[in-house]
Amino acid sequence: GWARAVRGLLLDVSGVLYDSGADGGVPIAGSAEAVRRIKASGLKLQLCTNETQATRENFVRKLRALGFDVSVAEVTAPAPAACRLLRERGLRPHLLVHDDLIPEFAEVDKTNPNCVVLGDAAENFTYANLNEAFRLLIGMEKPVLISLGKGRYYKETDGLKLDVGAYMKALEYACDVQAEVVGKPAKTFFESALAELGVPAEQAIMIGDDIVSDVGGAQQCGMRALQVRTGKYRPSDENHPQVKPDAYVNNLAEAVDIILQHL
């Protein structure tokens, strides 16, 4: 029954469409064709990603080079959401993010920082950089830590990599502060993705490889959610104590096959 009455799909990207890597990444078999079939069917499509190593423009350029027919408007990502939040609250960030993401914050005032924004900084996660962020936070009367996601790890072509959530937890612990998460699994992030998709939660399905951020986050918003057995999926996910997907599928192509049969 999970495949019935669907009008739109939210897709995670890394681990569902492709496995990222230093070489630009490798598409997962059948995923580019699956995206084409979704669009041809008339279903609405939005990519819902915690990608914070590139601007949306560069991210889409990379996906197109890998054979995916997607546009910037079809990507919901944490950095633009964080910029909106910073402007609304008059926050001036100290950025600990990937160099390639910095252009997303070009319009934001960064003088005399009164908060820290943390993204998947990869090689920028040095002791010196983390300590600088720690010192800024510990010196604030009311420390504000904004994290562009809370993933524990992700998969690249050469294996699993620590994600931003591990560093977020270190700063939370050191500064006795609770981070505000912008990105999956935050409810507000999924709600903005649904608004961009233009479909109510009960008529949308989220497809992802992360049992907590993708599946759990989407289900908390009233969506159905599938876990693919690609990307960071591990067999132990199927015994998760809290989160139970509406279904497991071997890959995106299989999910799309089933959904299109029920249109």
**Is residue 238 a part of any domain in this protein?**
yes
Residues 97 and 168 placed together within one structural domain of the fold: yes
At 23 the pLDDT is 81
**Rounded-to-integer distance, Cα 119 and Cα 179, Å:** 12
Q: Are strands 115-118 and 145-147 parallel, antiparallel or unpaired?
A: parallel
Q: 145 is in which domain, residue-wise?
A: 80-181
DSSP reduced 3-state for 180 = strand
- For helices 127-138 and 164-175, the axis angle rounded to 10 degrees is 40
Torsion angle of C-alpha atoms 87, 201, 230, 164, degrees rounded to 10: 20
Task: Report residues of the chain scoring pLDDT below 50.
Answer: none
Residues in the chain: 263
Residues 158 and 212 placed together within one structural domain of the fold: no
pLDDT digits (tens, 9 = 90+) for 11-63: 999 999 999 887 889 999 999 999 999 999 999 999 999 999 999 999 999 99
At 255 the pLDDT is 98
Q: What is the mean pLDDT of the chain?
A: 97
| Partner residues linked to 19 by β-bridges | 26
Residues 6+ positions from 187 with CB-CB distance below 8 Å = 217, 220, 221
- 234: which 2 tokens? 């591990």
Q: Are 101 and 123 in contact (CB under 8 A)?
A: no
**Is residue 60 a part of any domain in this protein?**
no
What is the domain-level CATH number for residue 241? 3.40.50.1000
CA 153 to chain centre: 12
Residues 164 and 95 placed together within one structural domain of the fold: yes
Residues 132 and 223 placed together within one structural domain of the fold: no
| Partner residues linked to 43 by β-bridges | none
Bond into 185 cis (ω within 30): yes
Q: Are 21 and 57 in contact (CB under 8 A)?
A: no
At 22 the pLDDT is 79
Determine what percent of the chain falls in helix, strand and coil, rounding each to the nearest 5. Answer: 40, 20, 40
Own/partner pairs for 40-44, CB < 8 Å, 24+ apart?
Answer: 41/260, 41/263, 43/6, 43/7, 43/8, 43/9, 43/259, 43/263, 44/7, 44/8, 44/9, 44/197, 44/198, 44/199
At 146 the pLDDT is 98
At 53 the pLDDT is 94
**Is residue 58 a part of any domain in this protein?**
no
Residues 152 and 124 placed together within one structural domain of the fold: yes
